[in-house]
Structure 1
C-alpha cells in the first residue's frame, strides 16, 4: 500500500535531521527513560499512568526541601536513597535550604540527577490541612477531570461473530476512561477512575453498571501522628519487594541504582491497571522514630472455578488481565474472594531503616495448578502467611540494603546488596538474590530474571562512570540460575544478562546514546522428541538513539535498533527498526505536538522490538514491532486557556506482504491497523 512512498518520506526526514547543525534537548527525557525501563519487564498494554501521574503532580506541586522526610523524593522513582540521606543530613547540620540550587553543595551529587530533580523540588511553605477549615477545601483545592476515548478503526474478527455458541466480543470496540482528582496541597487527595476496555459491554449485559472497572480512594497524610491514611484502593511497598510490593516496581535496566528498590510504603492506587493493588483501608502511624502500618483488603479476583470430588471450589490460576470481553472472561469475573490483612513496622533513625512485615492472604477457593512436573513446588491451597525483615543503611558513600522473607510452612527468599560511591565519578552496585523454589508470595516484585520471586539465584554487578557532566557510561552483568523446572524449560537452567550503554549530552542541546545488550537463557529445543532437551537461547540488541534541538520550537529524535535471536535447531532471526520523531513545542503557543515515522523488519516474533511512543497525557505506548512494515503516529495538543486541554492521536501500522493482522478474535483483514484517541482535560 504505497510502501515505497513511506520509505522516501522517511529518508527525506532523516536527511533533514542529519544536515542540521543544531542539537536537541529532551523535554521529557526523564519520563521516557523511566518508562522504557519499566516497559522492558512488563506487557505491551500495561498502563504506566501511575508513575506518569505522580511525576506530573510533583511537577505542578514541587516537594518542599525543608519539609520533606524523604518519602516524597522516593516516590519520584529516580532519586537514590544515598542522595536522600545526604540531603536530610545536610539540612539537619546546616539548617534549612535557601534555594533548590543549594543541592549542588551536596557531596557526590551527579549533575544529571540535579537536572532531572530541579523541576520537582522547591523551597517554601506549602498548604497544610491543619491550616484550613473544612469549608476552604473546595474553594482552595484543585480539581482535575479527564475523559479519554479510543478505538481501533478496522473491525476485528471478535466483533463480527454473532453465533452465541462461539467465543466472541460482547461489547463495542470503544475504549473509554474517565478520571477525576482532587488535591489540597500534598496532604489530601481524592481519586476516582472508571474504565471500559475494547470488547467489553457498556451499560448492557454483564456491565449493566456502566464501566467494567471502577477504582477510587481518599488519601490523607501529614496530620500529626497520622502519617498517611487511605480508604479505598491502595498500594503497599516495603523492603526489596520480596514479600509485599504492589503497584509499579522497577527491575533491571540502564538506571543501575534501581537495583535497590525505593519502597514508598502506603500510597493511594491511581492507575487503571486492574491488578497489582489492594482494596480496603490502611494507615501509617508515626510514634517518634517508629512507623506502624496496619492494613486490610477485600477484593474479588478472576478465575475459572471447578469443583473437586468433595464439592470444594478449586481454581487453576488467578486471572491477571482484567479483561471481560468474551463469555468465558465474563463467567470468570470476580469468582474468587481474596482477603489480605497484616501490618508493617519500621524504625527510622537518621541513615538507618529496619522493618518487618507480616500478613495473611486467604481465598474462598483452593488454588490447584495442573499436575505437571514443573508445578511440583507451586503453591497449592487457599491460605498463605508471609513474613519478612528488611534493612537499609548509608555510611560514607556506601548504601547497604536487603530483605529476608519466608512463606510460613514452605520456603524462603533473600536479597542483599550495596551501592557505593568509589570515586566522585564512579559508582558500584552489587546485588545477590536467592529465591527458594517453594517460596510463595502473591504480592512480590523483587529484582529477578524470571517472572516472580521464586526458583532463582543470581548475582548482579553494575558500574556507572561519570568522567564529566557530559558523559555517562553504564555497565552491568547479571548471572542467574533456575534450580527447578520452569514454563518451557524442562530442566534446571542458567543464563546471563549483560548491558552496556554510553551517553553523551550537550547541555540543553543534545543527547546521544549507544546501547548493547546480550541475554542468554535456557529453553526447550523446538524439535520434538521423547524428552525435551534444554538449549541456549541468545538475544542481542544494539541501539543508537539521538535527540537534538533545531531551535526554540522544533526538536528531533531518532533511533536505529538491531536485534538478533539465535536458538539451537532454529533459523537465526535478525531484525531492525529505525524511526524519526519531530517535536513541535512553542514556549507560549496553544498548539503543540509530535509525530513519528518508523520502518522495521523482523523475521518473526522472537526478534520483536519495543519502542517508547509519546501519547496523550498520562498515556505512554510501547507497541510491538514485528514483521515488515511502517509505523507512524501523530499527537496534537491544544490548550484552551490555562484550564482546559484537548489531545488528539492517530497511529497506524502498515505491514508488507500480509493479508491479515493479528490472530484469533483480534484478527483484522488486510495489512493495516489504525488507532485513534481523543482526550479532554479540565482543571478547575
Structure 2
C-alpha cells in the first residue's frame, strides 16, 4: 500500500493544480510559518475572516477601524480608500477599487470576499422595525466523531469522546450583531460535573455599530486591540510574513468575540466619535481564567488551553478572575494619528510563578498591573511611519517602530525596530516578536515587496533579534537570525508559489556552558490551476532540514482537488510525509467546515488523506461532512499519556449543519 500510494502521488500531474477553496484561505496558508500555525491568534484571524465573508462590509459606510480588521491591508491602502470616498463620494461599484493605486491585484481580489457596495446610509440609523424584519438569523452546529479511543476515554476523562459546538447569530448589516457560542472539547463533561449548564465554554455578545456618534458598543464577550499591541492585543496575529504584507501598521479595534478561543474580555466597551478627528474608547471587563495554584493559594501559572477533561484540569477551571479596565484616546487627521492607551489589571489572587530556573525570574509577578502607551504614525502616498512606546507600572519600557516607503509603484521597503525590556511586564501584550513575547527582546527587521506586474510578487525579509536575559533551554544572552524569500504568481488560471526560509536560533549545549547555533532550512513549492467548469487542484511540496547535531530531514508532498457546481462542493486531498524527528516536522492546511480552523502538523512517516462534501439542502440549509485519516508507518501507537491511541491510524468525521434565514 505504501509503495502504491507513493507511486500515485508522484505521477499525479502538477498541471491539474487549481484553486482550492477561497482566495483568502490560500492567503493565510501563504503568510503562515511554523510558529504562526501554532499560535492561537491565527485561529482568531481565521474565525474573523470567516465571519466577514459571511457578512461583508459596505464600502460606503465602513469605518477605518473596520478596515483595520482585515490583516492584509496596509495603513497606506486604508488611508487611500478613506480619502477616495471622502473626495469622490459613495462608490458605485467594486470596480472603482482599480482607481486606488496603492491596492495591488492580490489585495483587490481578497477585498471582493469581504466587502460590497451598498447605499450610503452613514447619515441615518436603522429603525428597530427594519432590524427585526430584515435581520438575518444564522445557526451553525458542528460535531467531530473519532473512530478510535484514547487512553483517557476509558476512565480518566469526565465526558464523551465527541467534540461539538454551536453558534447562533442575529445580524443586520454593519449595525447589529447578537450571538451565542457554546463549545465542548472531546472528553469534557456535558450537563455534568461543573458544567451543569451544558457546554464547557460559552460566549455571548451584542455589538452595535455606526449609530450616530456611537461607532461601536459591545456587551458580553469582546476583543480589544490598541496601537501595535504593546499594552493590549487579543485580535489578529502579527506573523513575520503578514507584517510585511500589511507593512507593520497599527490598529485600534473593538469587536465582539464570536469565536471559540479563550482570549477575550467580558463586560462592556464602547468607541465614541467625539469629533471628525477624535475618537475615545473605554472598556470594563471581569473575566474568569484558568490557573494552577501554589500551596499558599496564589496563582502559579495562567493557562490558556481551555481543556477541562480530567479532575485535575477541572480543578484549574476559573479559579482566577481578572478585572481589566482602560481605554484609548485617538486623534486622526491629514494622515497623522496619535493615541494614548491605558490598561489596568487586578487579579483576585496574586500571581506568583515559579522562579527556580533563571529564565523564569522575569515572568510577571504581582496582583496589580498597569500599562500605558503612546502610539503614533503618519501616512502619505509615498511613506508611512508607525510606532508605539509603552511603560509598565515600574517604568520598564517597550517600544516598536516601523518605517515604510514606496520607492515606486512596484517596489516597497519597510524597516521595523523593537526593544522590549526583559523587565517589562504585561499580561495582555501581543505584538511583533521573534521570541513570542513582548519581553526580553530587541531587534531589527528589514523587508522588501516587489510587484513587477499585477500577477507577480516577490517578498523578502531578514530579521535579527537579541535576547538579553536567559530563555527556555538558553541559559545566557543569545540571538537569532531569520530570513525568507518568497515569490508568487497569481494569474487567471495558474497560481504558482515558491518559498525558502533560513533561520538560526541558539541553544544550550549538554553542559549548559556554551551556546550552539541551530540552523533550520525550510522550503515550499506549490502550483494551482482553475478551470471554467468548477474543477480546481493544488500540488504542494514542503521540505525542511534542521542542521543541528547529526542533521534531520523532513518533507511532504500533497495533492488536493476541489469541484464546485451550484449547490454542491467536493474537496479531496492526500499527502505523504517523512521526517526524521519532530524538529523537522511539516504542516498542511486543509479545507474544513465553516469556522473550523484546520492546520495539521506531521512528523515521522505516513500518509494523510481526506474527503469533504458540502451541499445546500432546501435553499437555506447547508450540510458539510468531512472525513480525514492519518496512517503512520513508523509507530504502533499515536500520542502519549491520556491522549495516546493504541494504533497507527487516526480517523475523524466532522459534521456541520448550517441554517440561514
TM-score range for the pair, normalised by the shorter chain length: over 0.9
Q: Secondary structure at the match of 1:317?
A: strand
Q: Is the 8 A contact 1:128 1:185 kept in 2?
A: no
The answer for the alignment partner of 2:49 in structure 1 is: 55
User: Aligned to 1:622, which of 589, 594, 599?
Assistant: 599
In the alignment, structure 1 residue 281 sits paired with structure 2 residue 268: yes
In the alignment, structure 1 residue 381 sits paired with structure 2 residue 366: yes
In the alignment, structure 1 residue 365 sits paired with structure 2 residue 357: no
1:364-394 CA-partner distances (Å, limit 9, x unpaired)? 1111122222223222111111100101211
In the alignment, structure 1 residue 122 sits paired with structure 2 residue 109: no
Q: Secondary structure at the match of 2:245?
A: helix
Q: CA deviation at 1:25?
A: 4.3
The answer for the alignment partner of 2:552 in structure 1 is: 573
User: Aligned to 2:293, which of 305, 311, 334?
Assistant: 305
User: Aligned to 1:80, which of 44, 67, 74?
Assistant: 74
Residues 1:47 and 1:437: Cα distance change in structure 2 (over 3 Å): closer
Residues 1:59 and 1:666: Cα distance change in structure 2 (over 3 Å): closer
Alpha-carbon distance between aligned partners in 2 of 1:172 and 1:344, rounded to the nearest angstrom: 44
Residues 1:264 and 1:619: Cα distance change in structure 2 (over 3 Å): farther
User: Aligned to 1:553, which of 534, 551, 554?
Assistant: 534
1:192-250 CA-partner distances (Å, limit 9, x unpaired)? 10000011111112222210000111001111121111010111111111111113322
Unaligned 5+ segments in structure 2 are none
The answer for the alignment partner of 1:257 in structure 2 is: 245
Q: Secondary structure at the match of 1:249?
A: coil
- Give matches, 1:392-403, under 5 Å: 392-403=377-388
Alpha-carbon distance between aligned partners in 2 of 1:62 and 1:319, rounded to the nearest angstrom: 34
User: Aligned to 2:543, which of 527, 542, 562?
Assistant: 562
The answer for the alignment partner of 1:320 in structure 2 is: 304
In the alignment, structure 1 residue 634 sits paired with structure 2 residue 611: yes
In the alignment, structure 1 residue 414 sits paired with structure 2 residue 399: yes
TM-score (norm. length: structure 2): 0.96
Bigger shift: 26-35 or 230-239? 26-35
Residues 1:393 and 1:251: Cα distance change in structure 2 (over 3 Å): same
Residues 1:345 and 1:259: Cα distance change in structure 2 (over 3 Å): same
Q: Secondary structure at the match of 1:353?
A: strand
Residues 1:173 and 1:44: Cα distance change in structure 2 (over 3 Å): farther
In the alignment, structure 1 residue 156 sits paired with structure 2 residue 144: no
TM-score (norm. length: structure 1): 0.93
1:337-381 CA-partner distances (Å, limit 9, x unpaired)? 111111211111131111011121011111112222222322211
Q: CA deviation at 1:130?
A: 5.2
Aligned residues: 659
The answer for the alignment partner of 1:7 in structure 2 is: 6
The answer for the alignment partner of 1:98 in structure 2 is: 92
- Give matches, 1:254-653, under 5 Å: 256-274=244-262, 276-288=263-275, 289-308=277-296, 313-371=297-355, 372-506=357-491, 508-525=492-509, 527=510, 529=511, 531-567=512-548, 570-586=549-565, 588=566, 590-653=567-630
Q: CA deviation at 1:26?
A: 5.7
Q: Is the 8 A contact 1:127 1:184 kept in 2?
A: no
Q: Secondary structure at the match of 1:645?
A: strand
Q: Is the 8 A contact 1:257 1:429 kept in 2?
A: no
Alpha-carbon distance between aligned partners in 2 of 1:303 and 1:174, rounded to the nearest angstrom: 25
Residues 1:261 and 1:329: Cα distance change in structure 2 (over 3 Å): farther
Q: Secondary structure at the match of 1:593?
A: strand
Q: Is the 8 A contact 1:228 1:284 kept in 2?
A: yes
Q: CA deviation at 1:560?
A: 0.7
User: Aligned to 1:37, which of 31, 50, 60?
Assistant: 31
Alpha-carbon distance between aligned partners in 2 of 1:357 and 1:106, rounded to the nearest angstrom: 32
Unaligned 5+ segments in structure 1 are 163-167
Q: Is the 8 A contact 2:165 2:182 kept in 1?
A: yes
Residues 1:359 and 1:264: Cα distance change in structure 2 (over 3 Å): closer
Q: Secondary structure at the match of 2:362?
A: coil
Q: Secondary structure at the match of 1:92?
A: helix
Compute the RMSD of aligned alpha carbons.
Answer: 2.0
Q: Is the 8 A contact 1:584 1:594 kept in 2?
A: yes
User: Aligned to 1:676, which of 646, 653, 657?
Assistant: 653
Q: Is the 8 A contact 1:235 1:246 kept in 2?
A: yes
Q: Secondary structure at the match of 2:363?
A: coil
